[in-house]
Structure 1
């Protein structure tokens, strides 16, 4: 069971002061968070790509590269790369460079993008949303498979027997399929033999169990080695010394951020009742003390089959020292509890 952290490098207003820190300051804070995550033994850190004022990182590979030279073990991934509006050649080159700097710790999470600001920014038509992703994923995988590339498509000029460099340390460079939970995207990940990451940020995680089974079924039918595949979750949460403290610190900035997004997308208001329901054992929020968060991750592993858990923290802007403390607790106390329980299951033949 791998355990890690994701961030969208948020720069939303502080709920108490209204202050908004600069993009530059928040980017530097995230590098500190990655370094700490490495020091406390977490397995992976993911940085999301966005192109809007309230999220500071539009170039995850650059930010991750800044952290790569200061870390030793932690894997470094986008969370996600909006592949539909990017050039797969440049994506591969950037993450191959990150792979070199980190000596084989780079990963790509390739997604369609639930935020659509990048499409008009780079001149793409949203009516081509699905077609763009399918075509660009095909090219990215071809580049990954072969140094010399021959490829033709509709939305990008053809490539005729051209080399793509640098080549990564890892062969192949890990590419994950990021999905919001549609059966089609889950089945495609399994068919392609690519690891899958699910955004489990609402409802009950138990609803994703059939999708995980569909993924494994598709991978098996396609003849892939299941031992080399993984299913990850990306879920909101926060760890503190006590559950009361975690709730008090996390609710208001989360409510503020979710209501801003909800207004954009036509969602209902994010209330304290919504938040408290999601904190229950079968809810999608991982907020509480060490024991509470560990029990929920163990539950997710046992009931849904998730093999990598990534805690998205924070959702709205929070004091940097509080985020660092949450990462420390996740690495030094939550992760050992989860790993010990899973090791016990394995020893007793339960999984």
Structure 2
């Protein structure tokens, strides 16, 4: 059972697009978040990949390499690497480097991403969205298991036994599949016998129970033993001193973030009523006091029996001090109490 944190490193877009002043501040803050999580005993920290002016990280491996030399114990993962528009050879090399710097703490979480900016940026046709991911995942796993891989596909130059170096500390890196609820993603992860991370960022949590059951069914059919099936759950999480205090403080930043993302997707602006519905019991948004957040995470454990939980606790343009306090409460109060409650469930 692992408990972690993740972020997309949201930031205010630069007022001068020729300079990276906001990005620099955001990355400095991010290093403080990761080192605090490590110091407080959080199991894993994930950093996402985006290619937009409102996110500071386009290269998770670069950021995690910096974190590797500042931390001692915490696992460091992408959350996610947009594999469809990435080169699997370079991705493995970059994360093997993070692994070497961290003494064996690197992981890759591969996904298709929820934005498409990387496709035209790197010259990939969006109409091959699915084929790109399938082939590149196959190549990544091949490279991960074999230093001298032979591979042939339609989306990239073939490999004819070329060596891919450096190698990770143990050779193969842990690879997770990130999903948003598509049954195809569950089957794909099961077919490759890979752990599955589900992001619940909308709707009700219990709507995803069939999805996780679908994954477990197919994983068992692929010969993965029950005790080796790994399921991760990810929610937007923010913690404060009381339900009222933190829900009021967090709302404007969360609404701003959702409206920013939703502008290109035709979403209506978020109202306080929608926000309160999302953070009600069973909703996708977990915001409140320690007691409330503990109760909500335990409820999700009852639903999914997860083996890893990731709280996306650094999101939007929330002031850094509020984020650091939320991380502190998560690590020192929420996680121990959730572990205790789960242990009692047997």
The TM tier, using the shorter chain, reads over 0.9
Contact 1:3 1:335 in 2 (8 A): yes
1:248 aligns with 248
Write out per-residue CA displacement over residues 266-286 of structure 1, whole angstroms, 9 at most, x where no aligned residue. 122211111101111100111
- Is 1:209–1:305's contact at 8 Å kept on the other side of the alignment? no
- 1:21: how far off? 6.1
Asked if 2 retains the 8 angstrom alpha-carbon contact of 1:12 and 1:257, the reply is no
Q: Is the Cα contact below 8 Å between 1:11 and 1:21 reproduced in 2?
A: no
1:17 maps to none
> 2:71 corresponds to which residue?
71
SS in 2 for 1:332: helix
Shift of 1:66: 0.7
Shift of 1:171: 4.4
> Residue 318 of structure 1 aligns with which residue?
318
Query: Which 4+ residue blocks in structure 1 deviate beyond 4 angstroms?
Result: none
Aligned twin of 2:133:
133
Give the conservation status (yes or no) of the 8 Å contact 2:9–2:315.
Answer: no
Matches within 5 A, 1:9-88: 9-12=9-12, 22-88=22-88
Q: Which residue of 2 aligns with 1:291?
A: 291
**CA gap 1:322/1:13 in 2 versus in 1, 3 angstroms:** farther
**Partner of residue 193, structure 1:** 193
C-alpha RMSD over aligned residues: 1.4
The question of whether the paired residues in 1 share the 8 Å contact of 2:84 and 2:129 is answered with yes
Distance of 1:165 and 1:21 partners within structure 2: 34
Calculate the TM-score normalised by the size of structure 2: 0.96
* Cα distance per residue 1:172-192 (max 9 Å; x no partner): 311100111101111111121
Partners of 2:226 and 2:172 in 1: how far apart?
16
Gaps of 5+ in 1: 15-19, 347-351
Q: Distance in 1 between matches of 2:209 and 2:104?
A: 31
* TM score, norm. by length of structure 1: 0.94
1:349 matched residue in structure 2: none
Any conservation in 2 of the 1:278–1:284 contact (CA below 8 Å)?
A: yes
Pairwise CA distance, 1:225: 2.7
Q: What's the counterpart of residue 6 of structure 1?
A: 6
Deviation, structure 1 residue 291: 0.8
Q: Structure 2: 5+ residue runs without aligned partners?
A: 15-19
**Partner residue, 1:339:** 339
Distance in 2 (alpha carbons) for counterparts of 1:169 and 1:185: 29
Q: How does 1:129-168 map to 2 (within 5 A)?
A: 129-168=129-168
What is residue 231 of structure 1 aligned with on the other side? 231
Retained in 2: the 8 A contact 1:239–1:287?
yes
CA contact (8 A) 1:75 1:107 kept: yes
Q: Distance in 1 between matches of 2:170 and 2:205?
A: 32
| Cα distance in structure 1, aligned partners of 2:191 and 2:131 | 18
